């Protein structure tokens, strides 16, 4: 085999490895964990707007979208994969930066965890003195970010989040003016920008 043949085989091997890596990321970040929660939200009749499914580099955007499309799942829109440098999500982490290098953790007032998820959300909004309508939900446990209706979230939060499947919960308004955060240790923090 000549050098051109070896180079071609090496390029094909690298392309296949990259495709498998992306497939594994999509399965772990979206399919195996998040998709069940998304289906449950829809089954509850919640209005759910997917902001994005996954972030990736501009160079990999086409490959990520094609791998999402290959799943043939009507609930997963390949166009909801966005470029990693999208300023949208970085705004929340810039406004409410993590104080830990190992996990997302904010320095903010804390509420004693005295009840269900819906009760803690209500206590947080009272402490923040806000009355939200639309909210953004994300988690460190998976990549998708969605917009939800506040009242629908409160009605269904206990069914969605009390099973321990999602360890961190992050809620904010669409302008990132406040945050409600439940850590992996089930500590509830809230803050305004």
pLDDT digits (tens, 9 = 90+) for 135-169: 999 988 888 999 999 999 999 999 998 877 788 89
Residue 126 has pLDDT above 70, yes or no: yes
Q: What residue has token string 């051109």?
A: 4
Tokens of 12: 């094909």
pTM of the model: 0.88
pLDDT at 165: 79
Average pLDDT score over residue span 113-125: 92
CA–CA dist 117, 109 (Å, integer): 17
- Beta strands 48-52; 145-149: pairing state: antiparallel
Q: What are phi and psi of 85, to 5 degrees?
A: -80, 15
Q: What is the CA radius of gyration of the chain?
A: 19
Biggest alpha carbon distance in the chain? 71
Q: How confident is the model at residue 86 (pLDDT cuts 50, 70, 90)?
A: low
Rounded distance, CA 98 to CA 135, Å? 20
Rounded to an integer, the average pLDDT of 32-42 is: 91
Distance CA 138, CA 147 (A): 9
**Under a CB-based contact definition with an 8 Å cutoff, are residues 56 and 83 in contact?**
yes
Q: 93, 85, 76, 87: which is closest to 57 by C-alpha?
A: 85
CA dist 93 and 88 (Å) reads 10
CA-CA-CA-CA torsion for 126, 127, 130, 136, nearest 10 degrees?
A: -100
Element (H, E) at 151: helix 150-161
């Amino acid at each position: 085999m000549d050098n051109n043949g070896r180079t071609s085989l090496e390029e094909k091997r690298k392309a296949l490895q990259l495709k498998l890596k992306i497939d594994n990321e999509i399965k772990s970040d979206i399919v195996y964990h998040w998709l069940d929660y998304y289906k449950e939200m829809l089954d509850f009749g919640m209005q759910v707007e997917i902001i994005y499914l996954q972030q990736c580099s501009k160079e990999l955007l086409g490959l990520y979208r094609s791998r999402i499309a290959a799943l043939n799942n009507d609930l997963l829109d390949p166009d909801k994969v966005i470029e990693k440098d999208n300023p949208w999500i970085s705004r929340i982490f810039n406004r409410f930066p993590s104080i830990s290098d190992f996990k997302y953790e904010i320095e903010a007032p804390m509420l004693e965890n005295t009840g269900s998820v819906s009760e803690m959300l209500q206590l947080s909004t009272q402490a923040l003195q806000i009355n939200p309508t639309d909210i953004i939900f994300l988690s460190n446990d998976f990549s998708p970010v969605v917009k939800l209706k506040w009242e629908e979230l409160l009605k269904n939060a206990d069914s969605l989040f009390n099973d321990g499947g999602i360890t961190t919960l992050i809620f904010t308004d669409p302008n990132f003016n406040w945050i409600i955060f439940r850590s992996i240790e089930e500590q509830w923090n809230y803050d305004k920008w």
